[in-house]
Amino acid sequence: MCRALRRTGRSLPGLPHVLGAPSESRGFAVWQWERPAYLVPFHSCLGHEVLSSLPLQMMLFFNVFYFPFWCLSEGIMLALKYGLLPCYYQVLLVAAFLILALAEGLRLYLGYIGNLQEKVPELAGFLLLSFLIQLPLLLFLLTDEHIIRLPLETAVHIIYLVFLASEITAAFFALKVMTRQLATQFYLKQFEDAGRPWKSGHSTSQGRVAHPGRSGQQEREGS
């Protein structure tokens, strides 16, 4: 069988093949195992799977165009009722408006980058800003009875709340898919790295096999 393999230059998967012809003076042959086909990682044969969320990207796209309209409407309504509010509500509403406006720009940027480029930290930051800052402030503007809610203000806040709730839901599922894919790639990388020390150790053991014959021959020459 070894002669047939040497003539054809092929080897059977999973079976050892001869690395060079056996030497009569040494009396041994160096064997090398070929990696079976079922040990080849399957992800090396597949293309990159798109993990970006289309519903999330659509909502982010429309939210970018809606955000200036919301800022304009909220600014006009705040200016109209500012003189009728108590001092502490004046401070609260101005602070809430500024925080919402500043955080919304950063939130939309992180959502675009995290979703299109499939970056988990940016998408997680988008989700945290939406859930921890934007949502509580918006619910405060919608539910507090002492801020003198105007009809236009209520309408734009409800639309903004629908955008926000939909984006939080879509971002959660998109982040779940991306983290699962990253975990799979991490385990596959560990599987590949686990085979490299065996290969290097095997090549080292091949070199060690050849040394005893040489040392024995040198001892016979010295004697």
Mapped onto helix, strand or coil, the DSSP state of residue 61 is helix
Task: Give the pLDDT confidence score for residue 195 in this predicted structure.
Answer: 67
Helix locations, 15-150, DSSP H: 54-81, 87-116, 120-129, 135-143
**pLDDT over 90 at 16, yes or no:** no
Task: Give the pLDDT confidence score for residue 217 in this predicted structure.
Answer: 52
**pLDDT over 80 at 14, yes or no:** no
* pLDDT tens-digit map of 42-58: 444 445 677 788 999 99
Task: Give the pLDDT confidence score for residue 197 in this predicted structure.
Answer: 57
Which residue bears the tokens 């992180």?
Answer: 110
* pLDDT tens-digit map of 86-144: 999 999 999 999 999 999 999 999 999 999 988 999 999 999 999 999 999 999 999 98
Those residues with Cβ within 8 angstroms of residue 85's Cβ, 6 or more apart along the chain or in another chain = 93, 147, 148
What is each CA distance from 134 to 98, 107, 161, 178, 214, in whole angstroms? Answer: 11, 9, 9, 24, 76
Task: Give the pLDDT confidence score for residue 33 in this predicted structure.
Answer: 44
What is each CA distance from 73 to 46, 67, 82, in whole angstroms? Answer: 50, 10, 14
220 confidence band (pLDDT: 50, 70, 90): low
Task: Give the pLDDT confidence score for residue 152 in this predicted structure.
Answer: 92
Token pair listed for 6: 């040497």
Task: Give the pLDDT confidence score for residue 201 in this predicted structure.
Answer: 52
pTM of the model: 0.63
Token pair listed for 58: 């659509």
Task: Give the pLDDT confidence score for residue 188 in this predicted structure.
Answer: 79
Comparing 129-133, 152-156, 190-194, 215-219, the range with the smallest average pLDDT is: 215-219
